[in-house]
Amino acid sequence: MFKQFSLNGKSILITGGTGSFGKKCVEIILQRFHPKKLIILSRDEDKQYQMAKTLDMKKNPCLRFFLGDVRDLGRLHRAFEGVDYVIHAAALKHVPTAEYNPIEAIKTNVLGAENVLNAAIDNGVQKVVALSTDKAACPINLYGASKLCSDKLFIAGNVYAGVKNTRFSIVRYGNVLGSRGSVVPHFLSLRSSGVIPITDRRMTRFWMTLEQGVNIVLSSLGLMKGGEIFIPKIPSMKIVDLARTVAPDCRQEYVGIRPGEKLHELLISEDDGPRTREFDEYFVIEPEFQWWTDNKSGRNGGRPVPDGFSYASNTNTSWISAEELCKLIPELQVPQQLAC
């Protein structure tokens, strides 16, 4: 369990707040804290309406639903007024969609990030944590490249803020079990067909739950100095083993890697190793800025990683078993007699 950081009495805004991460983040914040305001910003009015129906608005008067798009700087300026912390989760994240619609991905993932940065600084937001992805480490697709650009913007935002006290950091992780568009719900939906498509038998992925993702994001609000990339230590699993666990009675059919898809995930590249420090539950990639290296007292501690270090799903030292997978995804209702 990551170190808790209190949000009591604070105003928090989540961009992309009606997505899988946003909904889980709202749920956990309401369970653990008593915020002054918890603002859910997204562009889909129906998702906001459906989400509001599942929450007790009378019991949680701190909740605010704010219709808007990160592409709209003016709307962000209005939404960020009086906000203490921003969690930036809004993104166009589907790899094939971004490949086919690159300009749309850039407008949301890059220009939207710039808008969040500017609105946060101009409104005196104290801290911003932006969600990143494994695909931003040595990217080979447009989505990964756009998120790498977003990461660079937020890291540099700590200098761009000038005399303002707004600080920006990033959390980067891999696949989230059960999130919208993830492979587990897809495999579950195909169990009745008797066939599970596998891109490559060698493929591996990092795996974590939504709750684990929320925990590291909320913890990073307390840990951050500004400019770091936080990477949680999470287990790997082969896609063929995942499919066998979720749908053991199905035949696996190999269909080839999709455009822009990697065989293995990478969260920390070898080039980032010299700036990476290791902690018990996570890694931190430190920024390449003079103000960071000069201010030794501002560093997060930890220990340097070995020469040549990288953090990839195929060379990971932690692997998840079928039994552990079943415990992590009870909400997906994987039948125990089949999956385990």
Q: Which residues are part of the catalytic machinery?
A: 135
Burial pattern 133-148, b for ≥16 Cβ within 10 A else e, equals bbbbbbbebbbbbbbb
**How far, in Å, CA of 30 to CA of 322, rounded?**
32
Q: Name residue, tokens 């951050």.
A: 224
Point out which residues pair with 168 in neighbouring strands. Answer: 128
**How far, in Å, CA of 323 to CA of 313, rounded?**
19
292 close to 298: Cβ distance less than 8 angstroms: yes
129 close to 89: Cβ distance less than 8 angstroms: no
Sheet of 236-238, strand order: 175-176, 204-208, 236-238
166 close to 121: Cβ distance less than 8 angstroms: yes
199 close to 254: Cβ distance less than 8 angstroms: yes
- Residue type at 242 in one-letter notation: L
Instruction: Give Rg (Cα) of the chain.
Output: 20
DSSP state for residue 117 in the 8-state scheme:
H
Q: What is the number of other CB atoms lying within 10 angstroms of the CB of residue 277?
A: 17
11 close to 36: Cβ distance less than 8 angstroms: yes
